[in-house]
Amino acid sequence: MALDWEKLLNQLKVLIIVGIIVLIAQNIGYDVPIIDAIPGMIIVLAIAFFALVVRALTPNLKFPAFAWASLTALILSMPFMPTSEVFLRLTDQVIFLGTTAPILAFAGISVGNKIEALKKLSWRVFVVAIFVFSGTFFGSAIVAHIVLSIQGII
């Protein structure tokens, strides 16, 4: 199957932009020297790009690139894998919370074109949504709590 390299290349450029933002932001928030984190960031971005390529190669699977990225890192970091020590040591320099700020900054901006649609909804939708959010969260938490107790894990 022919890959759309033009699109992948543009995605890679954006990934590099995101990587630079994370390096600068986590330097402010978590005092990680930018230079120290560069090798880890290169690995993280390489896996992210790999995930995009796999996603593009498997259009029928509908398995998102985010999941491919997680799965790849999961496999590389399992305790019995020879890669785990060096992989975890390097990617440790990329702080978990540090990767979240740019996502949410862009997410906030990206919903900017939904404000008008949102204004058309009534306050009832807001109230119902709050109960929907709470319902799924506590529904799952209660079931999980019970099952984990039965299993003796907690």
Scanning residues 93 to 112, which ones bind another protein (CB under 8 A)? 94, 96-112
CB 134, min distance to another protein, A: 7
What is the footprint of another protein within residues 117-146 (CB under 8 A)? 117-118, 120-121, 124-145
Segment (H or E) for 34: helix 34-57
Q: Which residue has the tokens 């949504």?
A: 129
CA distance 6 to 1: 15
What is the footprint of another protein within residues 41-70 (CB under 8 A)? 41, 44-45, 47-48, 51-52, 64-70
CA distance 19 to 25: 10
CB 83, min distance to another protein, A: 10
User: How many residues touch another protein (CB under 8 A)?
Assistant: 102
Of 4 and 35, the one with the shorter C-beta distance to another protein is 4
CB 2, min distance to another protein, A: 14
Residue/partner pairs of 148-152 with CB below 8 Å, 24 or more apart: none
CB 135, min distance to another protein, A: 4
Of the residues 1, 2, 82, 154, which one makes contact with another protein according to CB under 8 A = 154
Number of helices (H), then strands (E), belonging to the chain: the values are: 7, 0
Q: Are 72 and 97 in contact (CB under 8 A)?
A: no
Q: Which residue has the tokens 């690995």?
A: 43
Please report whether residue 78 would count as binding another protein according to CB under 8 A.
yes
